[in-house]
A = this chain, B = another copy of it.
């Protein structure tokens, strides 16, 4: 059976976005620079419909995660930047475009019901209003024996960690200090997760560290 895995890039000071998130800057000020290591990779460019790109250990890790993922779970704010009823959301679909990079079912946690939205390339967004366990059950059913990729944001990751449902964290630590933004591990304590270091992958751009969550 597949596992629920968080795969996320964090700054050295613990942030997964910069400060002041807006529709124009969904990752906050400076937040996009966190992901610079990934934009040039063939393994990232392919699912985004872009030509070319580099191969290497960074790319191998990204490709493995993409190929292992049979479903994705994300929070509402990561989906649209919004909250509240959908009819008031200024950006109900725009962040992920007409052909989102997931190419799998994506389960969006929200308090507001909405019909599924099918996009090109195999991505369908399903909106789950009855909690994280239900979203995980639905994602598991959709993923078959593949993994479920927990895409974020931080609050959703914290909820799954606290509930003991997260099985692995693949953390890409970017060598930068953001100084503000959204902290990945905010509001958690030592008893919320026992982590075991299982793998490190060396790369000149970023530190990849894989943890089992107990």
Contacts and interface: CB of A to CB of B under 8 A. Distances in A.
Contacts of A187: 179
A175 B199 CA distance: 12
Contacts of A200: 200, 202, 207
Contacts of A206: 197
Interface SS majority for chain A:
loop
Interface stretch (A72-80, A133-141, A142-150, A188-196): A188-196
A163 to B, nearest CB: 15
Stoichiometry (number of copies): 2
B207 A197 contact: yes
A12 interface: yes
A172 to B, nearest CB: 11
Given A188-B179, A190-B178, A209 B173 contact: yes
Nearest to A197: B175
A9 to B, nearest CB: 13
11 contacts: A12-B185, A13-B14, A13-B185, A14-B183, A173-B209, A175-B196, A177-B195, A179-B189, A180-B189, A197-B205, A207-B207
